[in-house]
Amino acid sequence: MSLWEFLLGQRSEVLGLALEHLFLVGISTGIAILIGVPLGIALTRWPRLSKPVLGFANIMQTVPSLALFGFLIPLNIYLFHVRILGGIGARTAIVALVLYALLPIIRNTFTGISGVDPAIREAGRAMGMTNRQLLFQVEIPLSLGVIIAGVRVATVISVGTATIAAAIDAGGLGRYIFRGLRMNDNTLILAGAVPAAFMALAADLLLGWMEKIFKTGVGGRLRKPGAWASLLLALGAVIWLSVTMLYPSKIERRIAVGSKDFTEQIIVGEILAQVIEARSGLSAQRRFDLGGNLAHEALVAGEIDVYVEYTGTALTAILKQAPLGDPAEVYRRVKREYASRFAVEWTEPLGFNNT
């Protein structure tokens, strides 16, 4: 099957994954702007802080994305009894993407405002401008081109990095890429990579167009209340979307079923989800394709309620114990150790043995 035939045949799924990808990129970039631009402005007022702040942002850029996702998953940080950091899913992915996007935004904001000609600042002060007026009517309009250039870089970085977020059940076009890598299917890989590339190009063109609109010099569009109102409305929409989509209502009772990222696990996970829905009357939330030991970490963190694990894998990979030849003894040991170490209960075996 060619790439074009696949995209046409699976267009509804492709569109859904593209929207998930766009959500991850849009929310994370918006939050990075909310944090990075004010922080960059603050650094121009307190230059001594520029080295440690930019150094931290540089370090975040060098951390491998999967390692950062893995580090964030076990965290349990709550605000007003709502978990804001940790676990699998879009919440953790967005935090990681924000950390990756901060460097170009902070650096370009700091560089752009610092690069304003001192003579222009002096002229503004001579006209009686306050520091606030000087910032909003002189410095920001003159440096806006540099700031938007940083946002463009951050957006492109986020589009690429968001493909890795599929490994922690955050959705997006990375699902096709990981699935294609497992199956050695180039069509699936391209089905994720090509739309992501077009998304990055479209974002770059859109931000370039915005740069031309707002790059009007001192006294330009940014002095018009409508322009500021539009920016504030867009940022407000980012905050509202992030709250409503990341922390949805939990009125509906659901059981989160997880699986690892290979075919047998996905099939068994789907069977388990269908059995739960048929026999309990509850809806099953499918959180499949969790790479490595993320399914175990998600279970311990309370992000999923159940998944199928192999006793041998649990004994050697999770508990770090030597392998045993007696299946019954292996089961008894992992059942006991999981209960004592993780407060996790092993059910009776499903009845199949693939060793």
Task: Check residues 234 and 330 and name the one with the higher pLDDT.
Answer: 330
* The pLDDT of residue 247 is above 80: no
**Whether residue 79 has pLDDT greater than 90:** no
Q: Name 286's bridge partners.
A: 257
Cα–Cα distance measured from residue 160 to residue 197, given in angstroms and rounded to the nearest whole number: 8
pLDDT band at 225 (very low <50, low <70, confident <90, very high): low
| DSSP secondary structure code for residue 224 in this structure | S
Give 246's pLDDT tier (boundaries 50, 70, 90).
low
pLDDT over 50 (residue 291): yes
State the average pLDDT over residues 308-319.
Answer: 94
Map out the domains of the chain with their CATH numbers: 3-246 (1.10.3720.10), 254-342 (3.40.190.10)
Tokens 């499903």 found at: 350
Nearest to 115 by CA among 208, 55, 40, 204: 40
Report d(CA 226, CA 232) in Å as an integer: 10
Q: Are strands 82-85 and 77-79 parallel, antiparallel or unpaired?
A: antiparallel
Question: Alpha-carbon distance 196 to 212, whole Å?
Answer: 25
pLDDT on residue 243: 58
pLDDT tier at 237 (50, 70, 90 boundaries)? low
Whether residue 190 is predicted with pLDDT greater than 90 in this model: the reply is yes
38, β-bridge pairs: none
- Whether the pLDDT of residue 219 is over 50: the answer is no
Per-residue model confidence (pLDDT) at position 76: 73
Burial of 304 (0-12, 13-18, 19+ CB in 10 A): buried
pLDDT at 232: 63
The pTM for the full model equals 0.80
Number of neighbours of residue 274 by Cβ within 10 angstroms: 13
Distance CA 213, CA 354 (A): 62
In this prediction, residues 101-120 reach a mean pLDDT of 92
End-to-end Cα distance, the chain = 34
Q: Is the pLDDT of residue 252 over 60?
A: no
Question: pLDDT averaged over the chain?
Answer: 85
For the cut 60, the answer to whether the pLDDT of residue 342 exceeds it is yes
Query: Over the stretch 7-46, which tens digit does the pLDDT of each residue have?
Result: 999 989 999 999 999 999 999 998 999 999 999 999 999 9
pLDDT at 172 over 60: yes
Among the ranges given (14-18, 43-47, 149-153, 232-236), the one the predictor scored with the smallest mean pLDDT: 232-236
Name the band, by pLDDT with cuts 50, 70 and 90, for residue 223.
very low
- Top-confidence residue, 305 or 71: 305
For residues 115-128, give the mean pLDDT.
Answer: 90
254 and 283 in contact (C-beta within 8 Å)? yes
* pLDDT above 70 as % of the chain: 86
State mean pLDDT over 130-139.
Answer: 88
Spell 234-248 as b/e; 16+ CB within 10 A means b.
eeeebeeebeeebee
